[in-house]
Structure 1
């Protein structure tokens, strides 16, 4: 013990001192025997010619090879013949030559008699040397990692499915994506069948035990030597899916449930009891059968696909609603034929962008041209568009200037954003957490945190004098083409977006000669100025032909509105300046009756004259000079306008029986089909519209 302590103090480790001198070889042999007999890692000892010198029991068991049959054989030949493993001879010789070990190299093989099952091994190779440095050979360690690699492969496939299935909201494409993910990673052939209701875009039926829905082939795929698959569109029930669909991944034929190998799985595509279809996964007969873990994976693939199909059907229904909203209201060009000739175009792109255009008739033969777009691409954008469009139609009845109308539309946009945020609080998301159109719920209302903004251009054209009042929110396309072919590509600056910074909005007033062309398109990336000018360079062409040329330059989901301006002819317009004296009322009445006779208009002359005299009387009593009386014939309709320089708002009141006045507007409202007031910088105009019984 003292000697051991002295050696320890001299720096020699005590465990080395415990080994008697001359017994190192005995210890090495003992350790080597223990490793070969007790280790759970396969050991393969090869000489410098890469012949097998020794293997342990674990190594032999890994490959099912009797040790005595392979000793002395070249490793490449032995393992290829008995285990179906391809040995990388070049890598082993590199270890012999350089002494650099290789670790954790994956090799695979199929043992004779069990070709359907592939084994994966993790192998490491190290050079063997004696005490003097002479190279003796190579020792290879191997571990069966088949289950680990299969588990990782299933995880990779599941991740791949979540990345690649459901990239679009299209039913057929979703089915094809399932096939692309599954072949050849999970099956040698795949058949995806959908119910007839899903094909028609209808709600799928609830799954029932007694009935089997009609299934049609939606997508198929196979490897080069994979089993045959049916044609797309073929009816598959009864047939490859049997007489009744299973409720989970199920081997086929059913006899495989007893434990026989199954190389085919049938899986339903269901979400919350609704049956969307089914999928058949099939491997070659000599391939590895599907096991319990494969069934779990098949259920996961089917669940992902079914959820995406549900989203696609929801989107299809929403798209139908969006299309209906985008086509409302129907065009009313015939109501504005005296003011403009119009041509409309819409390039659908399927993204759900909320673009719209409108031609809205206004009193006095005027017309409002409206083009707008909600600045987002989602189903909720069209719902927002529809509500803004309705607001424009409602606000246009107030006879507001375009910039004032945009200011009120901006307030409407802010209110819609607030209501949308409140409405979607607590709204459930899409099934299974799958991807949905960003920022919108399927109730058509933007999701919380998404603040809708919109661009809108409003132009009001008056055919009496060619006046054009324009206001713009955002950066929509606006070009004015004059009858001589000259064009102004930027007659008005861009303005802030509705729902954004807000008013004041860019506005301007122009007086256009008859035959001018207005080109308006919803916001977005516009065409090159040179190309646009070339398409608009010949204003003598029909607006429809010009619209065809401009449409080809627009991006998808944009709308186009082309309007050719008109002026009222002399036989449809009459104007008189009324002296600022109540005695002029009788003169005005006589002038109206005389002009109606000349026009042979179907409106009742007495009624028109009475309305005109009441409006003139109000202007002379409560307004300011100058007073102007105007008659406008617009088809069977006749508009009587009286303008004055006063700003006092007329009020409709119900006079008492003993009152001597106060009945003027009441008489007008009773006799006219419509009436109203609009304000200008010079004063106000009170108008009344009367419709005759027949053509003029």
Structure 2
């Protein structure tokens, strides 16, 4: 039935035959032609309408169209020779058979020039009347359709062409007929007698009489297959440049290559890559040697589930000489089978099961394209066709080469990035603390997670034991990523530990660290390294005796504190400039931390997300910390789970949790020391008594010697007031002597006959470590004695 003139059916005899040869539809035009009514023929075999002894099929035309002259039986017994045109119905379920019945003879132009123009015009042209029935067409159009004009005259476009092409064209022609305005339509159809379809540009123009009335339409068909394919190739190359290489992940990039090529270039595509050389070496220059071991990186099929795949993604297969993969890698160019040198069967003879699998799915042609970038072979892409009937052309080969070459660079970039990322990650993990020290001041837990897809950054954390049972905590973030950022992180972490060992206050430590970053940035610029060196950092020192914490920040997010009896909150502290700006001051903040307080230091990658703002992230952080703070390891896990997406963090994340502990007043003893050398002996007696009270008598002898030397030095070289303090926990006894002098002591080598100069040397020999720190009031000399193994 016409999509435009559904009532204009009688001028065309139409019948529908199902797949079993039964007539299921018979229209009025068919009744006019053969006299049979629909009731008489519908439901009966179509073969009954053939004249006795006639078994002629419909031989002419292409796979979906047949035409022939058949002898048909009229209702009154006559035998009519009728030309029939048959179209295969959608889905292959039978045929639509038709022929023009006519109602009037078609007009023919009287002007010889008009006849010559219509017949000899270089492009295919056809003229349709006001009912959109064919008036006539020229020789060029006859070649396109493949059926003589006299056979088709009087049929509509929907009857001449298939349903997929004829009906849309008829609608467009009806629009031109109604509006009087021409238009251009693109369509895809086979020319007469050809297996490959062409792309056509149909220009439809109205035809008017002398009074301006539209009396028909003219259709001029232009074969623009080459232009269409060139446009399609350009579109595919452009699409490949946009869709391939969206990430720096080798597997994802290989999958993107397969996705782009299906179905635009092939029905099944597989991407197999060589495994990276060991020890981070480069791929070899030149072709690999056979047999070639390849790992399946990706594949894609027009069919769901990729049933054509023989190898699963991630699996390894070995390809010998004569296989498509090995042959194309060895010669270094695309190979197509079948070709002049052999068939597809011969090319797959090396693997019987694989060849059987290919035959089972109807693969009729395949193309193998090497994946090469920067002169090195990375793998191979195999493209196969089974749904598309046409083989690969020379243009298809060039297109596959172009798309593969673009993807190869992306794969190589991803491979190089992965290698650098693994190197940076290994360096990063080697520079971070392998375990946190056990201290009497706090219990700590930490986490470090590299970015899931971006380069490894320079986030770091540390816990540093200080003198006097104090402990320093630091979390920092180096700007940038990659090996350079990891190396910079290692230098900064080492610098922080060195500066912490001389007991600098947090603001002073950040000042020195800022100077170092400025120098590193200047060195990087002098060496031609792009990008300036910069970092953010927060440094905190906690004293378990006073239960006070001193913090300073260099452009870093403030820590979160969870008191034992209150909700979590972000610490209000001066933000400070980022490290590397140079010359700007840093400020410290002090706060009391009752025993059991949890202090959380972190980098900005934990809170920042494209799906929420920082305030929302902070709320989630505080909620997760409060709900799981009983166990710090569990709390660290809960915080990361609440804040980070399932696919991994978009940026590096460092998290340090610390629960404060306090020393009992009974574990600390303090004495004011008069500046009188004669009182050193009574002081030693007081120390011995205190150690007996603490049940540490095994350490009395060593402690008396150390205290005697430190107090004597303070009386002799220091300035009053002088103070002695003993602190102990289960493992360590600390002796501290403070005075008002800012002059730091130092070890010196005493000569044989010198009467002094051996005090600090003796202290160094008797203790596990010793040192001095400056305070606002002067200095403190301290020494630590190990209690492990003491009775």
TM-score range, shorter chain: 0.7 to 0.9
Please give the TM-score of this superposition, normalised by the length of structure 1. Answer: 0.80
Q: How does 1:73-222 map to 2 (within 5 A)?
A: 73-74=154-155, 76=157, 80=161, 88-103=169-184, 105-115=185-195, 117-197=196-276, 208=287, 210-222=289-301
| Secondary structure class of the residue paired with 1:88 | helix
CA distance in 2, matches of 1:229, 1:345: 41
Please say if 1:316 is aligned against 2:418.
yes
| Secondary structure class of the residue paired with 2:662 | coil
Residues 241-270 of structure 1, C-alpha deviation per residue, up to 9 Å, x if partnerless? 355343122102454689999831111223
CA distance in 2, matches of 1:528, 1:77: 62
Contact 1:630-1:640 at 8 Å conserved across structures = yes
Cα distance, 1:624 vs. partner? 2.3
Cα distance, 1:683 vs. partner? 1.7
Please say if 1:287 is aligned against 2:424.
no
| Secondary structure class of the residue paired with 1:648 | coil
Residues 264 and 122 of structure 1, relative CA distance in 2, 3 Å threshold: same
CA distance in 1, matches of 2:207, 2:298: 56
Structure of higher CA gyration radius: 2
CA distance in 2, matches of 1:65, 1:674: 102
CA distance in 1, matches of 2:193, 2:772: 96
Q: Which residue of 1 aligns with 2:771?
A: 676
Cα distance, 1:160 vs. partner? 1.2
Q: Which residue of 2 aligns with 1:251?
A: 336
Residues 533 and 52 of structure 1, relative CA distance in 2, 3 Å threshold: closer
CA distance in 1, matches of 2:767, 2:179: 107
Q: 1:296 aligns with which of 370, 394, 398?
A: 398
Q: Once superposed, what is the RMSD of the aligned Cα atoms?
A: 4.0
Q: Which residue of 2 aligns with 1:554?
A: 643
CA distance in 1, matches of 2:757, 2:311: 82
Cα distance, 1:572 vs. partner? 4.9
Cα distance, 1:347 vs. partner? 5.1
Cα distance, 1:552 vs. partner? 3.7
| Secondary structure class of the residue paired with 1:94 | helix
CA distance in 2, matches of 1:211, 1:76: 57
Q: Which residue of 2 aligns with 1:416?
A: 520
CA distance in 1, matches of 2:682, 2:699: 18
Residues 41 and 389 of structure 1, relative CA distance in 2, 3 Å threshold: farther
Residues 49 and 365 of structure 1, relative CA distance in 2, 3 Å threshold: same
Contact 1:585-1:613 at 8 Å conserved across structures = yes
CA distance in 2, matches of 1:250, 1:366: 72
Please say if 1:367 is aligned against 2:489.
no
Residues 41-82 of structure 1, C-alpha deviation per residue, up to 9 Å, x if partnerless? 433333333344454444445x26366456625351675279
Q: Which residue of 1 aligns with 2:371?
A: 269
Q: Which residue of 2 aligns with 1:392?
A: 496
CA distance in 1, matches of 2:365, 2:307: 11
| Secondary structure class of the residue paired with 1:518 | strand
Question: 557-566 or 204-213: which moved more?
Answer: 204-213
Contact 1:676-1:686 at 8 Å conserved across structures = yes
Cα distance, 1:529 vs. partner? 5.8
Cα distance, 1:291 vs. partner? 1.4
Contact 1:636-1:695 at 8 Å conserved across structures = no
Q: Which residue of 1 aligns with 2:510?
A: 406
Q: Which residue of 2 aligns with 1:630?
A: 725
Cα distance, 1:186 vs. partner? 1.1
Q: How does 1:410-559 map to 2 (within 5 A)?
A: 410-423=514-527, 425=529, 448=530, 450-485=531-566, 487-500=568-581, 503-523=584-604, 524-525=607-608, 532-537=621-626, 541-555=630-644, 556=649, 557-559=652-654
Contact 2:726-2:735 at 8 Å conserved across structures = yes
Contact 1:602-1:694 at 8 Å conserved across structures = no
Unaligned ranges ≥5, structure 2: 1-109, 346-362, 609-613
| Secondary structure class of the residue paired with 1:315 | helix
Cα distance, 1:692 vs. partner? 6.6
CA distance in 1, matches of 2:694, 2:751: 38
Cα distance, 1:469 vs. partner? 1.2
Residues 242 and 393 of structure 1, relative CA distance in 2, 3 Å threshold: same
CA distance in 1, matches of 2:784, 2:710: 12
Contact 2:621-2:643 at 8 Å conserved across structures = no
Please say if 1:44 is aligned against 2:126.
yes
Cα distance, 1:401 vs. partner? 0.9
Residues 212 and 355 of structure 1, relative CA distance in 2, 3 Å threshold: same
Q: 1:72 aligns with which of 143, 153, 165?
A: 153
CA distance in 2, matches of 1:581, 1:252: 103
Cα distance, 1:147 vs. partner? 0.9
Residues 256 and 419 of structure 1, relative CA distance in 2, 3 Å threshold: farther
Cα distance, 1:396 vs. partner? 1.8
Contact 2:365-2:391 at 8 Å conserved across structures = yes
Q: How does 1:658-669 map to 2 (within 5 A)?
A: 664-665=759-760, 668-669=763-764
What count of residue pairs does the alignment treat as equivalent?
642
Cα distance, 1:323 vs. partner? 3.5
Cα distance, 1:153 vs. partner? 0.9
CA distance in 2, matches of 1:363, 1:469: 15
Cα distance, 1:154 vs. partner? 1.0
Please say if 1:232 is aligned against 2:312.
yes
Residues 321-377 of structure 1, C-alpha deviation per residue, up to 9 Å, x if partnerless? 3443443444444x4331111122345551434333211112222211112233556
Residues 536 and 329 of structure 1, relative CA distance in 2, 3 Å threshold: closer
Q: Which residue of 1 aligns with 2:675?
A: 580
Please give the TM-score of this superposition, normalised by the length of structure 2. Answer: 0.71
Contact 1:86-1:109 at 8 Å conserved across structures = no
CA distance in 1, matches of 2:696, 2:435: 23
Cα distance, 1:109 vs. partner? 0.7
Residues 566-597 of structure 1, C-alpha deviation per residue, up to 9 Å, x if partnerless? 22346754432211233334444454455556
Residues 263 and 538 of structure 1, relative CA distance in 2, 3 Å threshold: closer
Residues 44 and 257 of structure 1, relative CA distance in 2, 3 Å threshold: farther
CA distance in 2, matches of 1:407, 1:31: 98
Cα distance, 1:666 vs. partner? 5.1
CA distance in 1, matches of 2:762, 2:202: 103
Cα distance, 1:537 vs. partner? 4.8
Contact 1:60-1:66 at 8 Å conserved across structures = yes
Cα distance, 1:514 vs. partner? 2.6
CA distance in 1, matches of 2:127, 2:627: 90
Residues 486 and 298 of structure 1, relative CA distance in 2, 3 Å threshold: closer
Residues 389-415 of structure 1, C-alpha deviation per residue, up to 9 Å, x if partnerless? 233223222211111112222233333
Question: 674-683 or 563-572: which moved more?
Answer: 563-572
Cα distance, 1:648 vs. partner? 2.9
